[in-house]
């Protein structure tokens, strides 16, 4: 399953700050039991940067729990990060989840999509009811996404991490 499934065009856009966890909500397009693989792409490589991505449950109270993570991986060379053998988890069609990413060096970052994060239009109204695209209160440590996100603060300048999950 591609995450998010809307607007799969890639954008080469660095995260604005190091250690900040950038998150986007998405709806699972279909149910998928026993997910054990998680893929993201590193672009904008840097010799010393570490990047990480994670999938979280979604809870408006701010207690999103990590379902899967790449951990902190080297951003020194571009390409696909394949995280396999993760503890199996399921995603349910229509359920809202969060995809998040971070970096230790703005020169190394994950492939992103422009989805709803553009300033103006849908990006400007997406955070009216609840933070759809934004930054998490909990920071990454050495490029590793935290176990929980804490509260999400809406922003229209964040990018959405592109990922694929599979059984």
User: Is residue 127 over pLDDT 70?
Assistant: no
H or E segment at 122?
A: helix 121-125
**In which band, very low, low, confident or very high, does the pLDDT at 24 lie, cut at 50, 70 and 90?**
confident
Q: Phi first, then psi: give them for residue 69, nearest 5 degrees.
A: -150, 155
Section 21-48 average pLDDT: 83
How do the domains of the chain map onto residue ranges?
Answer: 2-166
Predicted confidence at residue 114, as pLDDT, reads 47
User: Is residue 113 over pLDDT 70?
Assistant: no
Q: Tens of pLDDT along 42-84? A: 776 655 678 889 999 987 666 789 999 988 888 777 778 888 8
CA angle 124, 158, 155 (to 5 degrees): 45
Name the percent of the chain lying above pLDDT 90: 22
pTM over 0.75: yes
Beta carbons within 8 Å of 29's beta carbon, 6+ residues apart: 1, 5, 93
Alpha-carbon gap, residue 11 to 33, rounded angstroms: 30
Predicted confidence at residue 115, as pLDDT, reads 41
Name the percent of the chain lying above pLDDT 70: 73
Alpha-carbon gap, residue 7 to 118, rounded angstroms: 12
Section 28-39 average pLDDT: 91
Predicted confidence at residue 155, as pLDDT, reads 76
- 3-state secondary structure string across 17-80: CCCCCEEEEEECCCCEEEEEEEEEEEECCCCCCEEEEEEEECCCCCCCEEEEECCCEECCCCEE
Six-digit token string for 55 = 């999938």
Predicted confidence at residue 49, as pLDDT, reads 79
């Amino acid at each position: 399953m591609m995450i998010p499934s809307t607007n799969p065009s890639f954008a080469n856009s660095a995260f604005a700050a190091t250690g900040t966890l950038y998150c986007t909500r998405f709806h699972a397009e279909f149910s998928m039991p026993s997910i054990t693989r998680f893929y993201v792409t590193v672009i904008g490589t840097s010799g010393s940067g570490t990047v990480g991505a994670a999938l979280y449950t979604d809870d408006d109270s701010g207690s999103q729990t990590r379902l899967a993570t790449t951990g902190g991986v080297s951003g020194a060379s571009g390409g696909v990060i394949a995280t396999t053998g993760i503890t199996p988890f399921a995603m349910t069609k229509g359920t809202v989840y969060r995809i998040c990413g971070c970096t230790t060096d703005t020169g190394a970052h994950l492939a992103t999509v422009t989805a709803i994060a553009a300033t103006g239009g849908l990006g400007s109204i997406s955070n009216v009811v609840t933070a759809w695209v934004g930054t998490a209160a909990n920071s990454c440590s050495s490029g590793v996404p935290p176990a929980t996100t804490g509260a999400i603060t809406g922003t229209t300048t964040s990018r959405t991490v592109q990922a694929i999950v599979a059984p």
